[in-house]
Amino acid sequence: MKTGMTSALGLALLMGSTALSAQEAAQPSLRINDKEYFEAPAVNILAFSNWYDGLFADAKIGGVEIIQRGMRTATNGDVRLSAAPGQWDPAAALVSRKVDAAAGIIDTTLRYAQYDWQYVVRVERQGSGAKISVILDRPLPAALAGKAGFNLEFLPSAYFHHAYMADDRPGIFPLYPADAMQPTDERNAASGRSEGPGAEPLPFATGKRFILSPEDAARRVTIESDAPLTLYDGRNQAQNGWFVVRSMLPAGRSGTVVEWKVTPQTEANWLRTPVIAHSQLGYTPAAPKLATVELDRNDMRRPPLRLIRIAADGSEKAVPTPAAQEWGDYLRYHYLQLDFSAVTEPGLYRLDYGEVKTAPFRIAADVYADAWHATNDVYFPVAMDHMSVNEAYRAWHGDSHRDDARQAPVNHEHIDLYRQGPTTDTPFQPGEHIPGLNVGGWYDAGDFDIRTQSQYQVIRSLADAQERYRLTRDTVSVDHARRHVEIHVPDGKPDLVQQVAHGTIQLLAQFDGVGHAIHGIVEPDVAQYTHLGDAVNKTDGLPYDPTLKPGETRDERSGTPDDRWAFTSKSSALNYGSAAGLAAAVRVLRGQDDALARRALDRAEKVWADEQNHAPDMFSHGNTTGGPLDAEMFGAAVELLRTTRKPVYARAVMALWPKVEKGFGFNAQTAVAAIPYMPAAYRRAMLPAVRKWQMQSEELTKANPFGVPVTTGGWAGSGTVMNYALTAAALHEAFPEIVGPDATLRGVAFLTGHHPGSDISFVSGVGTVSKEVAYGNNRADFSFIAGGVVPGVLVIKPDFPENHEDWPFFWGENEYVIPEGAAWIELANAANRLGGAR
């Protein structure tokens, strides 16, 4: 039976391959459009429209890329130095990009500086496909012979359950990697190994003509070359690897050394299925209610956009609304918009546009009331470091990183934007254990480091939410003596107060341990940094003792140097930021943990006094050493003023205001928080900035159909939208005569589904359809952490909004970070307080 099935499949695929030749001849031709990428019906080929920005190396956004029927299925078409390069493997720098639209050619010059070698990747229109050439002005350097090859990477989830043809040999794409591996003596960055030999996968198919997904036109791509083609599964080395088609660059040759014909399947009449963007969470009766239909620009159909009320017995009734209006073009799509704000009757509803139907959503007075619960109940407990965390039958993780931390080496550039300066700025020598850091704090993101800037940002955010909205919810037990957390088990203490305490403990430990705030505590190597699974297994939990042999333990110490590193170069910005977090914590800890509150206030005031009496330490690197100094100082002054009411801090706030006014959007929430404790002149001084902000906010409502700032960087913009919405809430409260509530509610709607690209909620577990495949530390399970907020819509330049629900490893779209979780708690409660009032 198996033999017969295999033969039948092979025959079907071979017949399909023959039929493809005729189909390819009839496909529409590619052209370079006004946005400088190749376009044909159902297909786009981008040629270096995107490139690595250097922030976190390879983000699977760069080189030659293919978009098929609205999904980006291939990326990273470029010369690489291994068959399955990982995030930290070398990539060339982009030198120049030249577009000749008339000739249908895009030439990109790139350079590997360490080898003093550059090359050109030419992408040229050739009928319904593109000819991709690698052109050398001089032969490959000897050091790159046998290493350099042209790669094109294909998204695994797009090809799961699909077939391929390698010449006349059929095969099925593997659901899970299981290929033969060959050892290599070189360090393997892609696998995360920090020392010793590595291994690379062997190809699972070879040939000179590949057809990916011959049985399905939606994913079909033909690749032809006179040079041998090999197909690899990068997931053999790293779970975030892709399928890679590769041709080696020959040694000793110049000119055109590799040439491919790449033909994605076009379809003359293809139209993208419309998306009805709306809030999956729903709306309060008085709230503004917009539904936005996202259309293929070639889609001229205009069925009515209908609002359907669903009764308890399942019967449905269309609710009278105005007709949807043409909004216009944005990015690559055309938009219609329906304003159904006049519908106020509570109930269950759905939106229909032709054959497209949304999931049900509510209109109810309490839609925002519990929207923050999952973040409080699950996401933040799971993020707690230095604790074991349990949820009923599930152990989320053990008591991780009990061996924190070793002093980082000096003059060291590390992963994830950490760097140690020329001295330790501590009493500790490089590699020496710093006692006391193995307490408190949260995992920063989908990885496991403690980033201090995130810690104090979260403390301030959670403290403000608890103080402003009197949030007494108690569903989590936190036992610091046992270093244990139980989710869904109340312990008689407000959860947010306990979370604030947990962050405060880590900040105080830094000052107690080294005398100042540190950049953070991070894994010593890529192997630990890329760890997937329970964080307790990353290290042995015992402080390193260099007198012991690797694997040897004695007196609760270990000879295994697996402890995380502490980066400790002094930064006044971090000191001020930490002082702000500690001062904010005091206000919610009082009456709950008075001893911790006293320690926090004492340290915050000492830090302020010390920093005011010496020239600032300006060490700065990446995003781990604090924000702008004036802004961090302003935050500390405001939080100390709110906590102590002392005139010294009021004077500092007034003196710093002119310096931070230029960055008003970034500092507005902090500035507004000081108003009740400042003279009337302070509020008056803010009026011009508030009016300017409101004018810019009104312009935003016209810039895109969603009325919020949509970012275009390598990290998507949920955080930017929440900052905008929270700023609007703060300004509405302080300046209601200038700023209304709608911008806040637009922000909530954006986060929960009213955004480009899809209608999914970017808060896992919040709304009818929400993120269920995300970049948490459980991402290898293609799962989610309830209450986590993902970055959301990433605009692939120049015009493609993307958020993958089938592939969690796009960190710029799908990675949870703790500041955004805290901001969501604030935002949901701000919307609940507004109650949808207009």
Contact of 65 with 827, CB cutoff 8 Å: no
Contacts of 115 (CB under 8 A, 6+ apart): 141, 143, 144
Q: Could you tell me the two tokens for 536?
A: 């307790």
**For the segment 114-139, what is each residue's pLDDT rounded down to a tens digit?**
999 999 999 999 989 999 999 999 99
Rg (alpha carbons) of the chain, rounded to whole number: 28
Q: Could you tell me the two tokens for 572?
A: 């006044």
Q: How far apart are CA 601 and CA 834, in angstroms?
A: 32
Nearest by Cα to 646 from 680, 686, 601, 689: 601
Nearest by Cα to 60 from 796, 805, 830, 819: 796
Indicate whether 293 pLDDT > 90.
Answer: yes
pLDDT (0 to 100) of residue 25: 54
**For the segment 769-819, what is each residue's pLDDT rounded down to a tens digit?**
999 999 999 999 999 999 999 999 999 999 999 999 999 999 999 999 999
Q: Could you tell me the two tokens for 281?
A: 């969470």
pLDDT (0 to 100) of residue 56: 63
**For the segment 346-397, what is each residue's pLDDT rounded down to a tens digit?**
999 999 999 999 999 999 999 999 999 999 999 999 999 999 999 999 999 9
Helix and strand numbers, DSSP H then E, in the chain: 17, 42
Distance from chain centroid for Cα 34: 29
Cα of first residue to Cα of last residue in the chain, in angstroms, is: 68
The CATH classification number of 2-264 equals: 2.70.98
In angstroms, the Cα distances linking 511 to 27, 410, 574, 586 are 66, 20, 11, 16
What are the φ/ψ torsions at residue 344 (nearest 5 degrees)?
-125, -5
Residue pointed to by tokens 């009197």? 470
**For the segment 599-616, what is each residue's pLDDT rounded down to a tens digit?**
999 999 999 999 999 999
Q: How far apart are CA 358 and CA 352, in angstroms?
A: 7
pLDDT (0 to 100) of residue 28: 85
Nearest by Cα to 732 from 747, 754, 720: 747
634: left (phi over 0), alpha (psi -120 to 50) or beta: alpha
Task: Classify residue 320 by its DSSP letter.
Answer: P
CATH level 3 topology of 275-363: Immunoglobulin-like (2.60.40)
Q: How far apart are CA 633 and CA 641, in angstroms?
A: 12
Task: Classify residue 678 by its DSSP letter.
Answer: S
Q: How far apart are CA 728 and CA 697, in angstroms?
A: 9
Q: What is the overall mean pLDDT for the chain?
A: 94
Sign of the four-CA dihedral 595, 597, 598, 603: positive
**For the segment 628-683, what is each residue's pLDDT rounded down to a tens digit?**
999 999 999 999 999 999 999 999 999 999 999 999 999 999 999 999 999 999 99
Task: Classify residue 30 by its DSSP letter.
Answer: P
Contact of 184 with 191, CB cutoff 8 Å: no
Local confidence band at 194 (pLDDT 50, 70, 90 cut-offs): very low
Residue pointed to by tokens 């919020």? 708
Local confidence band at 195 (pLDDT 50, 70, 90 cut-offs): very low
Length reported for the chain: 838
Q: Could you tell me the two tokens for 55?
A: 């922030």
Say what percent of the chain tops pLDDT 90.
Answer: 90
Least confident of 192-206, 317-331, 476-490: 192-206
H or E element at residue 713: none
Residue 819, SS3?
helix
Higher pLDDT, 7 or 821: 821
Q: How far apart are CA 256 and CA 133, in angstroms?
A: 6
**For the segment 264-286, what is each residue's pLDDT rounded down to a tens digit?**
999 999 999 999 999 999 999 99
Contact of 566 with 407, CB cutoff 8 Å: yes
pLDDT (0 to 100) of residue 601: 98
- The 3 state secondary structure assigned to 398-459 is CCCCCCCCEECCCCEECHHHCEECCCCCCCCCCCCECCCCCCCCECCCCCCCEEHHHHHHHH
**For the segment 456-471, what is each residue's pLDDT rounded down to a tens digit?**
999 999 999 999 999 9
Average confidence (pLDDT) over 96-101: 98
Strands (E) in 641-743, as ranges, are: none
Contact of 242 with 60, CB cutoff 8 Å: yes
In angstroms, the Cα distances linking 723 to 442, 718, 731, 738 are 21, 9, 12, 18
Q: How far apart are CA 824 and CA 787, in angstroms?
A: 9
Contact of 826 with 584, CB cutoff 8 Å: no
Q: How far apart are CA 58 and CA 78, in angstroms?
A: 12
Residue pointed to by tokens 């990015």? 331
Task: Assign domain 398-618 one CATH number from 3.40.50.300, 3.40.50.970, 3.40.50.720, 1.50.10.10.
Answer: 1.50.10.10
Task: Classify residue 185 by its DSSP letter.
Answer: S
Nearest by Cα to 625 from 692, 687, 679, 578: 578
pLDDT (0 to 100) of residue 27: 76
Contacts of 70 (CB under 8 A, 6+ apart): 272, 273
Q: How far apart are CA 286 and CA 344, in angstroms?
A: 6
What are the φ/ψ torsions at residue 111 (nearest 5 degrees)?
-145, 135
Q: Judge residue 154's burial from the number of C-beta atoms within 10 Å of its C-beta, 0-12 exposed, 13-18 middle, 19 or more buried.
A: buried
Q: Which amino acid, one-letter code, is at 204?
A: F
Local confidence band at 695 (pLDDT 50, 70, 90 cut-offs): very high
The DSSP string of 219-253 is T-EEEEEEEEEEEEEGGGT-TT--EEEEEEPPTT-
What are the φ/ψ torsions at residue 318 (nearest 5 degrees)?
-70, 135
Nearest by Cα to 97 from 88, 86, 108, 89: 108
Domain boundaries, the chain: 2-264, 275-363, 398-618
CA angle 763, 449, 410 (to 5 degrees): 150
Indicate whether 187 pLDDT > 80.
Answer: no
Q: Which amino acid, one-letter code, is at 451?
A: R
Nearest by Cα to 684 from 725, 734, 639: 734
The DSSP string of 468-489 is HHT-----EEEETTTTEEEET-
Contact of 566 with 557, CB cutoff 8 Å: no
Local confidence band at 185 (pLDDT 50, 70, 90 cut-offs): low
Q: How far apart are CA 739 and CA 380, in angstroms?
A: 32
Q: Could you tell me the two tokens for 727?
A: 């700023």
Q: How far apart are CA 381 and CA 524, in angstroms?
A: 25
Local confidence band at 146 (pLDDT 50, 70, 90 cut-offs): very high
In angstroms, the Cα distances linking 648 to 640, 641, 642, 662 are 10, 8, 12, 23
Nearest by Cα to 333 from 802, 697, 817: 802
Q: Is the pTM of this model over 0.85?
A: yes
Cβ atoms within 10 A of the Cβ of 100, count?
11
Q: Could you tell me the two tokens for 288?
A: 């503004």
Average confidence (pLDDT) over 702-716: 95
Q: Which runs of consecutive H residues, i.e. helices, occur in 115-206?
A: 156-159
Local confidence band at 196 (pLDDT 50, 70, 90 cut-offs): very low
